[in-house]
């Protein structure tokens, strides 16, 4: 699920709060989150695309095939959905978000950042040049 969340964030230029941000309190002390809800992610195979209604307005997001299986957002979303399904069938309670790891938690930004920095180090790059926010810098 960690890999899936990183691929989705990279491909769709999501802000870190849209995937890894926990719910926060708004001015009315209500939980607010910008995280994508699992119920809003629908995979369609007919046209090789998927639909993600992040704001529940039915927007369609398409991404052409890159030929790079490790950076394929449909596979990443499917992995997240299948992991959730397996956890739920095993009796593990998870929250409503695509990357919920329990009823009250999602994959956190520090885990994503650590993973990215470790990958940068393994590839001989300077880890200080990378973070979870840098996933969207190129297109934001």
Q: What digits encode the pLDDT tens for the residues 89-131?
A: 999 999 888 888 888 888 877 888 888 889 889 999 999 888 7
Q: Any idea how long the chain is?
A: 140
Helix H or strand E segment including 74 = helix 73-89
Extents of the domains making up the chain: 2-135
Return the higher-pLDDT residue of 119 and 133: 119
Measured torsion, CA atoms of residues 31, 136, 109, 26, in degrees rounded to the nearest 10? -20
Would the pLDDT of 33 be above 50? yes
- Lowest mean pLDDT of 60-64, 75-79, 102-106, name the range: 60-64
Q: What digits encode the pLDDT tens for the residues 5-17?
A: 777 776 665 666 6
Would the pLDDT of 52 be above 50? no
In whole angstroms, what is the distance from residue 52 CA to residue 86 CA?
21
């Amino acid at each position: 699920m960690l890999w899936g969340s990183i691929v989705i964030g990279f491909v769709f230029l999501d802000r870190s709060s849209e995937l890894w941000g926990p719910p926060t309190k708004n001015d009315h002390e209500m939980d607010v989150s910008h995280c994508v809800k699992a119920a809003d992610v629908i995979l369609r195979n007919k046209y090789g695309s998927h639909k993600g209604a992040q704001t529940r307005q039915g927007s369609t997001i398409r991404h052409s095939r890159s030929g790079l299986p490790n950076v394929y957002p449909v596979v990443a979303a499917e992995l997240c959905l299948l992991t959730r399904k397996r956890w739920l069938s095993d009796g593990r309670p998870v929250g409503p978000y695509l990357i919920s790891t329990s009823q009250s938690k999602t994959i956190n930004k520090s885990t994503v950042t650590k993973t990215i920095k470790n990958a940068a180090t393994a590839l001989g790059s300077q880890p200080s040049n990378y973070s979870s926010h840098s996933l969207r810098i190129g297109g934001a």
